[in-house]
Amino acid sequence: MSGIYIHIPFCKQKCYYCDFHFSVSLSRKDELLKALQKELELRKGEITTKIETIYFGGGTPSILSIEEIKSLLETVYRNYNVIDKPEVTLEANPDDLSSEKIKELSDTKINRLSIGIQSFFDQDLQYMNRAHTAKEAFDCLNAAIGSFDNITIDLIYGIPNMSNDRWKENLDTAFKLEIPHISAYALTVESKTALASFIKKGKYPPLDEKQAQQHFKILTKKTKDHDYIAYEISNFGKVNYFSKHNTSYWQGKHYLGIGPSAHSYNGTSRSWNIANNAKYIKAIQENNLPSETEYLSKTDQFNEMIMTGLRTIWGVSLEQIEQNFGLDLKEKLIQKAQGHINNKTLQLNNGILLITDKGKFLADGIAADLFEV
């Protein structure tokens, strides 16, 4: 099974923390959408297995009209072999989701909404320069719950001046609304973002890692208490509500990335499109694919399996490591992992290497310790 990711590179305004590729100008939206359709047609030979998931990411896909979304979906169905009931996700911002638009979306093949709430408090939203208000967050969720069963929301913790109580209230709000899936991320400072500039100039306080770690402990405990499964470090779902599309990334399945800056993966190589709307459109109009390709060595493939596997409840299978990379590398991995096992940040259960609750906040560093260089 494979997936298709479609990048919609437009937003109403730029969040201070965001370093994704997008434009706030919609002047070339029609040309870009035609280019997305054409890229889907040009690359249909790259995926021979059935399409199990379709994901509209961005940017802000909900900025598109219903007809524009339908047209892109029709192009996918016309050119690819899609299973009968695929997971079709649309990322959306609350200010785009009127009751009318939510109802119209529910009449399309979209069956999962990923809503960028980030916080239910206006002061947090203003700090991040989000385009919506807390009231719009509540209103859109109340409307969405009536039309969609499969809803996930994004929340951000570790925001300066966000108390533990305010973070708990954000989570409690999601629980009361019975949202079946939550993606929660620590606020990070990426270079070349407005947030990085504000902190450097002293306009914003620096991030507090200890505060973020406290928020993460609250997150893991409260979601567990409310019967969410932490199937990936930042993702918490009720039974039958895990993201199939994102899970395919962590389990090394193949996927096709369509649009400027989108990435693709086929098991042995990774490619990515140019992160420039004008250059992307021009290349596609000339029947060229504006992408670069990286061929993954066995070492690269091993390191990716470690990095992605440790982030999930499925962990890293030592049997699979031996099958893919040989007995010597498996034994070397066990030796490297032993210190973390002794420190109780990793555990080895029935041949599966798993990260513990104690180790989750340190997952990237632990994985790096196990890499082959």
* Dist. CA 8–CA 33, nearest whole Å: 8
Domain boundary residue, one of 249, 270, 285: 249
What's the pLDDT score for residue 344? 97
What's the pLDDT score for residue 43? 97
Are the C-beta atoms of residues 95 and 12 closer than 8 Å to each other?
A: yes
Q: What are the pLDDT digits (tens) for 325-335?
A: 999 999 999 99
What's the pLDDT score for residue 190? 93
Residue 214 sits in the same domain as residue 357:
no
Residue 204 sits in the same domain as residue 66:
yes
- Quote the DSSP letter at residue 344: T
Residue 311 sits in the same domain as residue 220:
no
Q: What distance separates the 2 farthest-apart alpha carbons in the chain?
A: 59
How large is the average pLDDT for residues 256-265? Answer: 98
Domain boundary residue, one of 208, 224, 249: 249
Residue 316 sits in the same domain as residue 245:
no
What's the pLDDT score for residue 196? 93
Residue 103 tokens, joined = 């109802």
Domain boundary residue, one of 209, 230, 249: 249
Q: What are the pLDDT digits (tens) for 77-125?
A: 999 999 999 999 999 999 999 999 999 999 999 999 999 999 999 999 9
Q: Is 145 exposed, middle or buried (0-12, 13-18, 19+ CB in 10 A)?
A: middle
What's the pLDDT score for residue 266? 94
Residue 341 sits in the same domain as residue 203:
no
Q: What 3-state DSSP class applies to 26?
A: coil
Residue 90 sits in the same domain as residue 155:
yes
Are the C-beta atoms of residues 9 and 60 closer than 8 Å to each other?
A: no
Are the C-beta atoms of residues 262 and 270 closer than 8 Å to each other?
A: no
User: Quick one: pLDDT band at residue 135, thresholds 50, 70, 90?
Assistant: very high
Q: Is 350 exposed, middle or buried (0-12, 13-18, 19+ CB in 10 A)?
A: exposed
* Dist. CA 369–CA 247, nearest whole Å: 24
pLDDT at 184 over 80: yes
Residue 88 sits in the same domain as residue 184:
yes
Note down the domain range covering 317. Answer: 298-370
How many other C-beta atoms are found inside a 10 Å radius of the C-beta of residue 59? 22
Are the C-beta atoms of residues 55 and 3 closer than 8 Å to each other?
A: yes
How large is the average pLDDT for residues 318-341? Answer: 97
Residue 39 sits in the same domain as residue 97:
yes
Residue 17 tokens, joined = 């923390």
In a domain, 191, yes or no: yes
Are the C-beta atoms of residues 76 and 54 closer than 8 Å to each other?
A: yes
In a domain, 119, yes or no: yes
Instruction: Report CA 249 to chain centroid distance, whole Å.
Output: 9
In a domain, 257, yes or no: no
In a domain, 266, yes or no: no
Residue 65 tokens, joined = 């009209």
How many other C-beta atoms are found inside a 10 Å radius of the C-beta of residue 365? 11
Q: Is 37 exposed, middle or buried (0-12, 13-18, 19+ CB in 10 A)?
A: buried
CATH number at residue 18: 3.80.30.20
Residue 193 sits in the same domain as residue 113:
yes
CATH number at residue 325: 1.10.10.920
Helix runs in 46-133, H state only:
66-79, 99-106, 122-128
- How does the average pLDDT of the chain come out, rounded? 96
pLDDT at 251 over 80: yes
* Dist. CA 343–CA 321, nearest whole Å: 23
In a domain, 230, yes or no: yes
How large is the average pLDDT for residues 172-182? Answer: 98
What's the pLDDT score for residue 118? 98
What's the pLDDT score for residue 238? 98
pLDDT at 312 over 90: yes
Residue 104 sits in the same domain as residue 207:
yes
In a domain, 215, yes or no: yes
* Dist. CA 99–CA 366, nearest whole Å: 45
What's the pLDDT score for residue 311? 96
User: Quick one: pLDDT band at residue 37, thresholds 50, 70, 90?
Assistant: very high
Residue 174 sits in the same domain as residue 313:
no
User: Quick one: pLDDT band at residue 236, thresholds 50, 70, 90?
Assistant: very high
In a domain, 183, yes or no: yes
Q: How many domains does the chain have?
A: 2
Residue 119 sits in the same domain as residue 218:
yes
What's the pLDDT score for residue 170? 98
In a domain, 61, yes or no: yes
